[in-house]
């Protein structure tokens, strides 16, 4: 059973949400039931796809790592780095299955997302933002069902804030209404619309040829948007019903005037994660250590590392890696243009020129997604 797919899934999830809805409407706390809901739904889904044992193993690995690290008295940089590497290890193993077919057995739904949540907790602990995470709260954060399989990627302390609050009856009604609305619109977008695009636009296209490729490029971009944005909506809607306001993942991405704008509007939870924990840390470290003669170099290299990581996070196959490199290049170009052509900035703000820039950006984005789709590589 794939989450948010198929009538049977929604039927079961609906049944499971009912007690939560009743608790919320009565103004009771949702933390405990939310945990039960997550545990039951994960068990059903992962038992179904035969990955329950792997999930348990992965969970134990990350929990031991996080709790263990939090109890280390002297958290040196080396120990911190070791912890992060260990946390990334399962993800690496799974991604390497693209290169080594023997590792095919190690597939775990949502591992990319759950790993990033775990690493984020480690960083929080190292920075001193979190002292000693509690087992249940940490488990709930790592495995939170609505976002387990495909995000959005949340932040630990923001999540804790939500689950340790009890929304009153009024506030919960609002959450319930909005959550249900997001579920419905997400289902429409992610299942109906994307399904239609797939069946009537993408599937009938021939596998090769320039015109077909062009059509596929536009179609796939729209398909991916409706599919992923719809899915994120459903996850967010379900989370709202459990009293958790997951962060948004999409914000009218096709209105982006340039690539930096795009990454603030597309897969937002991933791009902000990478920005905060890869780009910013690298740049800050470089500036403090005066690593580069020209300070700006830190920014360019920062983008390259960040977007290479983004590509690899999706997978280690050529289409994903090239996708990452492609965006790294575009971000550097964006940065350079902003820097050396100050008139660019003014240009992007005009009404007509903004539309022009949006169209241009859309084409760069679509081409990137064409690479991502694997059709070219």
Helices (H), 72-110: 77-95
CA distance 98 to 28: 46
Q: Is 7 in the site for another protein (CB under 8 A)?
A: yes
Residues recognised as catalytic: 314
Contact 298, 292 (CB under 8 A): yes
Q: Which residue, 25 or 356, has its beta carbon nearer to another protein?
A: 25
Closest alpha carbon to 194 in 215, 222, 169, 171:
222
Q: Counting contacts by CB under 8 A, is residue 12 touching another protein?
A: yes
Phi-psi category of 280—alpha, beta or left, where left has phi over 0 and alpha has psi -120 to 50?
alpha
Least distance in Å: CB of 47 to another protein? 11
Report the site for another protein in 181-210 (rule: CB under 8 A).
181, 184
Subset of 330-349 contacting another protein (CB under 8 A): 335, 338, 342, 345
Q: Say how far apart CA 208 and CA 216 lie, in whole Å.
A: 10
Q: 266 φ, ψ to 5°?
A: -120, 125
Which one among 279, 320, 323, 364 touches another protein, defined by CB under 8 A? Answer: 279
- 351 is a contact residue toward another protein (CB under 8 A): no
* By CB under 8 A, residue 104 contacts another protein: no
Burial of 62 (0-12, 13-18, 19+ CB in 10 A): buried
Site residues for another protein, 217-256, by CB under 8 A, read: none
* CA–CA dist 1, 106 (Å, integer): 18
The answer to whether 36 contacts another protein (rule: CB under 8 A) is no
| Among the listed residues 81, 104, 132, 296, the single contact to another protein using CB under 8 A | 296
155 touching another protein, by CB under 8 A: yes
| Cβ–Cβ < 8 Å for 60, 35 | no
**Which 8-state DSSP code applies to residue 205?**
S
* Secondary structure (3-state) at 252: coil
User: CB of 299: closest distance to another protein in angstroms?
Assistant: 4
Does residue number 284 form part of the binding site for another protein (CB under 8 A)? yes
Q: Closest approach of Cβ 245 to another protein, in Å?
A: 15
Residue from 73, 77, 252, 288 touching another protein (CB under 8 A): that is 288
φ/ψ region of 110 (left if φ > 0, alpha if ψ in -120 to 50, else beta) reads: left
Instruction: Identify the residue among 180, 250, 254, 326 touching another protein (CB under 8 A).
Output: 180
Candidate list 108, 176, 321, 358; residue touching another protein; CB under 8 A: 176
Residue from 79, 127, 136, 209 binding another protein (CB under 8 A): 127
Check binding of 5 to another protein (CB under 8 A): no
Tell the smallest beta-carbon distance from residue 20 to another protein (Å).
14
Cα–Cα distance for residue pair 92/103, rounded to 1 Å: 11
- Which tokens go with 277? 């924990």
Write down the least CB distance from residue 129 to another protein, Å.
7
Distance of closest approach, residue 132 Cβ to another protein, in angstroms: 19
Part in contact with another protein (CB under 8 A); list of ranges 98-106, 178-186, 248-256, 363-371: 178-186
Query: What span, in angstroms and rounded, lies between the C-alpha atoms of 145 and 13?
Result: 11
Q: What string of H, E and C letters represents the secondary structure of 123-186? A: HHHHHCCCCCCCHHHHHHHHHCHHHHCCCCCCCHHHHHHHHCCCCCHHHHHHHHHHHHHHHHHH
Query: Under rule CB under 8 A, how many of the chain's residues touch another protein?
Result: 40
For another protein, the binding residues (CB under 8 A) are 1, 6-8, 11-12, 15, 25, 48-49, 124, 127, 129, 155, 157, 169, 173, 176-177, 180-181, 184, 260, 275-276, 279-280, 283-284, 287-288, 295-296, 298-299, 302, 335, 338, 342, 345
């Amino acid at each position: 059973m794939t989450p948010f797919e198929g009538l049977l899934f929604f039927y079961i999830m609906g049944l499971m949400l009912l007690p939560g809805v009743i608790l919320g409407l009565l103004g009771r706390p949702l933390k405990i039931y939310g945990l039960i809901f997550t545990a039951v739904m994960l068990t059903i889904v992962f038992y179904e796809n035969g990955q329950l044992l792997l999930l348990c193993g992965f969970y134990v690995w990350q929990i031991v790592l996080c709790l263990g690290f939090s109890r280390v008295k002297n958290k040196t940089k080396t120990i911190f780095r070791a912890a992060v590497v260990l946390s990334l290890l399962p993800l690496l193993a799974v991604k390497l299955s693209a290169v080594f077919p023997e590792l095919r057995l190690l597939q775990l739904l949502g591992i990319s997302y759950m790993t990033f949540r775990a690493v984020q907790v480690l960083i929080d602990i190292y920075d001193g933002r979190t002292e000693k995470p509690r087992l249940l709260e940490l488990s709930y954060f790592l495995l939170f069902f609505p976002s387990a399989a495909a995000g959005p990627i949340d932040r630990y302390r923001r999540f804790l804030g939500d689950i340790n609050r009890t929304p009153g009856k009024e506030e919960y009604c609002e959450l319930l209404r909005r959550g249900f609305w997001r579920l419905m619109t997400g289902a429409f977008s992610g299942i109906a619309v994307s399904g239609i695009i797939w069946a009537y636009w993408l599937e009938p296209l021939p596998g090769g040829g320039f015109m077909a490729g062009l059509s596929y490029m536009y179609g796939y971009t729209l398909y991916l948007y409706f599919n992923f944005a719809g899915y994120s909506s459903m996850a967010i809607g379900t989370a709202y019903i459990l009293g958790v306001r997951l962060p948004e993942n999409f914000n009218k991405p096709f209105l982006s005037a340039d690539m930096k704008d795009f990454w603030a509007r597309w897969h937002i939870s991933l791009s902000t994660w990478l920005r905060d924990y890869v780009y910013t840390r690298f740049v800050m470290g470089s500036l403090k250590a005066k690593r580069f003669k020209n300070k700006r170099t830190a920014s360019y290299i920062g983008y390259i590392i960040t977007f290479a990581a983004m590509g690899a996070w999706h997978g280690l196959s050529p289409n994903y890696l090239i996708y990452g490199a492609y965006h790294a290049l575009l971000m550097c170009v964006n940065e350079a243009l902003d820097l050396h052509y100050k008139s660019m900035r003014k240009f992007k703000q005009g009404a007509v020129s903004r539309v022009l820039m949006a169209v241009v950006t859309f084409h760069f984005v679509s081409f990137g997604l064409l690479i991502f789709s694997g059709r070219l590589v």
